[in-house]
Amino acid sequence: GTTPLVTDVYADAPIGAAGDGAERRPLIERKSGADTPQSYPEGSVVMAVIDSGIAFANGRFCTPPDGNTVIPVSRFSHLMLPTGTGAFSVLGRSNIAELMQAGLNPATGQFHEINVYNKTARRQSDGRRNVRPLSLPAPHGTQVADLLAGADMADEVTTRPMIGVALPSSAIIDTSGSIAAAYIPALVDEILALSATMTGPDGKPLPLIINISLGFTAGPCDGTHPVERAMFDAVQSALAAGREVHITLPAGNHAQSRLHAELGADDWDKDGLASLTLRVPSDDATPNFTEIWLPERPLQDFFED
C-alpha cells in the first residue's frame, strides 16, 4: 500500500508514496496565498512552462516596478519548485514578490536578478542534490519560456500571466521519461487547478497553454507513454469542463533518434524509387502505424524530381 510508483534515486525519499487505495503522486504543498483568485484583462491567456531552470526574475518576464522602487514585477503568478525530496512547493504572487525583494541592493539601490535566484535556491533545496539552482548555467526552461511568452519590460504586458514548473534534475537527466512520468501528471493537474482561479472580466477561467519541451529517447512511439496519456487525459477533462486548454510539444528534440529507418540520398535508385520494410512481430497486438517525414520542400516539387 505504501510502495511508490517510481523511486527517484536522486531524491531523499520515494515519489508519491500513498496509502491503500490512494493514487501515488508527489506531494504538492501550496504556500499561503498561492490559491488566491486573480482577475486579468480581457484577452488574457495563462502561459505555463514545465521545464528546468526558469529565470522568473528576468526582465523578459517582468513588468516595470510599481511605485517608488526599482524592483520589477514578475509576470509569473505561480512557481512550482522541487524540494529535493520528491515533493513540490507552490508559490503564489505574494511569495514571488517576496523573493523579488532579495534582488535589491540597499547600498547601491540597484536590482540584481542573480540575488533573487540565490535566495530561491536557499529556500528551495536546502542543499539537496536533486534540485538545480537557477544560478547555474544551461537554463533551458528560460529559453523555452521566452519563446512562449517573453516580452520587453517596456511593453508592460499584463495579458500573459505565467506559471513556471521546475522539474527535479533527475527528471531531466532520465531521457526515458520514467521519472518525469511520476511527476508530470500531478503537475499538470495542479496547473489546471491554479489556472482555474485566474479569470477574465466575465469571471470565467482564462484560456491555458502548457508548454512541455521534453524529448524522450525510449518508450512507445504511439501515444501510450504515461506522460503522453496524462497530457491527453488532462486536456480532455478540461474540455469536458468547458475550459480552453492547449499543450505545445516539441517537433524536434529527440524525434529523429526515435525513427526506425531513414532514407538518405544514396538509397534512391536511378528511377527515383526506394523502399522500406515495416516488420511487425506476430504477437504485437498494439495498433501499428508508419509516420513519414518528407523533405522541407513542396510536395509537388518533391515528386516531380
pLDDT at 15: 55
Planar angle of CA 131, 135, 136, nearest 5 degrees: 70
Beta bridge partners of 132: none
The HSE-up count of residue 280 (CA atoms within 13 Å, CB side) is 9
pLDDT at 203: 95
Distance, CA of 58 to CA of 143 (rounded, Å): 11
pLDDT at 20: 42
Distance, CA of 37 to CA of 277 (rounded, Å): 56
Q: What is the pLDDT along the chain (305 residues), one digit of tens a residue?
A: 344 445 555 555 455 544 444 456 788 999 999 999 999 999 999 999 999 889 999 999 999 998 888 999 999 999 999 887 778 999 999 999 999 999 999 899 999 998 998 888 876 655 456 666 665 555 788 999 999 999 999 898 999 999 999 988 888 877 777 888 888 989 999 999 999 999 999 999 999 999 998 877 666 767 788 888 888 998 999 999 999 999 998 765 555 555 567 777 778 787 778 887 777 767 766 666 677 777 676 666 656 65
Find the helix packing angle between 93-101 and 113-124, rounded to 10°: 120
